[in-house]
Amino acid sequence: MGDTVEFAKMNGLGNKILVIDMRGRKDRVTPEAAIVLNAHPDTAFDQIMAIHDPKADGTDAWIDILNCDGTKAQACGNGTRCVVQALSAETGRKAFTFQTVAGILNAQEHEDGTISVDMGKPVFEWDRIPLSEEFYDTSRIELQIGPIDAPILHSPSVMSMGNPHAIFWVNRDVMSFDLERFGPLLENHPMFPERANITLAQVTSPTSLTTRTWERGAGLTLACGSAACAAAVSAARTGRTGRTVDIKVASATPPGMLSIAWRESDDHVVMTGPAEWEWSGTVDPSTGAWMRSDATASEQARAL
């Protein structure tokens, strides 16, 4: 095994996260390493959160985010909570400021162990989401799947939370839809030149939603924080709920809850939820070769 760094296998509501410590280094986690890591059942993940030295004054770290197919991601709210928990355990600090390609994120760990992440302002302009066609009102666009006279899904709300999202409103259990079949078609629809995260959302009360997400570059995931934010904002924007909602992530095991507040004062979206450490190890960021910190010699050999 070559030059290695420490990493932690974590999750945010079941959203599988690898937090990799790249501080003090100039290289990056390669797409090839990401694909190798995802191919092993022990290290399969939805996103890698690679922590790098800060690039901007006033920030604590630059976070490089990779999907399980090796592509880059702009935002990952559940992964950001995992980074906060990891750094808080290391430093004893509770508040952090991160920089990603999507912008600056402020985050804080609370006394009860939950973590709030300021995901910034939502973007509604069609060319900034982006969409391939102009829509004046992106709270409902013309897009459907299924028969023209009886579509299975239609008229999504679209927006960006640093990454593109399409929220399809449904009137029955989100788990009853074959999202594994529809997700790839919609993610790669010509309407979305940079692809999109596809979420099914059911309004269950004026202050609650249930969601399920097909995640761009990751597929059917147990949870997606930025999608939960997009669903909450879209629900408020279309008058389905108020600006503060609890979101039940139906596909999480067991189903988990996120609290989302779209603040009126500055239009920022704040997501609050848990993060969980599972185990730690070391990894070669170039090749993806890894081993658990507590592994036996035979287990190490299998991992490599």
Q: Are residues 114 and 191 in the same domain?
A: no
The residue segments making up the domain with residue 231 are: 144-267
How many Å apart are CA 191 and CA 186, to the nearest integer? 9
Which amino acid, one-letter code, is at 160? S
Q: What is the pLDDT of residue 300?
A: 39
How many Å apart are CA 93 and CA 55, to the nearest integer? 20
Q: Are residues 148 and 263 in the same domain?
A: yes
Phi, psi dihedral angles at 34 (to 5 degrees) = -60, -45
Number of domains in the chain: 2
179 contacts: CB under 8 Å, gap ≥ 6: 198, 200, 212, 214, 220
Q: Are residues 209 and 169 in the same domain?
A: yes
Q: Are residues 9 and 94 in the same domain?
A: yes
Q: Domain for residue 165, yes or no?
A: yes
Q: Domain for residue 200, yes or no?
A: yes
How many Å apart are CA 65 and CA 176, to the nearest integer? 31
Q: What is the pLDDT of residue 303?
A: 39
Q: Domain for residue 126, yes or no?
A: no
Extended beta strands in 170-273, E state: 197-205, 208-215, 219-220, 244-249, 256-262, 269-273
How many Å apart are CA 118 and CA 104, to the nearest integer? 9
Q: Domain for residue 156, yes or no?
A: yes
Residues of the chain with pLDDT under 70: 1-2, 251-255, 295-304
Q: Are residues 19 and 64 in the same domain?
A: yes
Q: What is the pLDDT of residue 94?
A: 97
Phi, psi dihedral angles at 168 (to 5 degrees) = -100, 125
Q: What is the pLDDT of residue 25?
A: 96
Q: Domain for residue 252, yes or no?
A: yes
How many Å apart are CA 97 and CA 58, to the nearest integer? 7
**CATH code, domain carrying 200:** 3.10.310.10
Q: Are residues 251 and 297 in the same domain?
A: no
How many Å apart are CA 85 and CA 43, to the nearest integer? 19
Q: Are residues 24 and 96 in the same domain?
A: yes
Tokens of 217: 């570059």
Which amino acid, one-letter code, is at 153? L
pTM: 0.88
How many Å apart are CA 236 and CA 56, to the nearest integer? 33
Q: What is the pLDDT of residue 296?
A: 46
Q: Are residues 221 and 152 in the same domain?
A: yes
Burial 157-178 (b: 16+ CB within 10 A, else e): bbbbbbbbbbbbbbeeebeebe
How many Å apart are CA 187 and CA 202, to the nearest integer? 20
Predicted confidence (pLDDT) per residue in 141-185, tens digit: 999 998 888 899 999 999 999 899 999 999 999 999 999 999 999
- Strand 15-21 with 47-52, pairing: parallel
Peptide bond into 255 cis (omega under 30): no
Measured at the CA of 235, the angle between CA 63 and CA 148, to 5 degrees, comes to 105
Q: What is the pLDDT of residue 251?
A: 65
Measured at the CA of 209, the angle between CA 205 and CA 211, to 5 degrees, comes to 155
How many Å apart are CA 203 and CA 235, to the nearest integer? 8
What residues act catalytically? 76, 224
- State the alpha helices, DSSP H only, in the chain: 31-39, 77-91, 179-187, 225-237, 297-303
Burial 235-244 (b: 16+ CB within 10 A, else e): bbbeebbebe
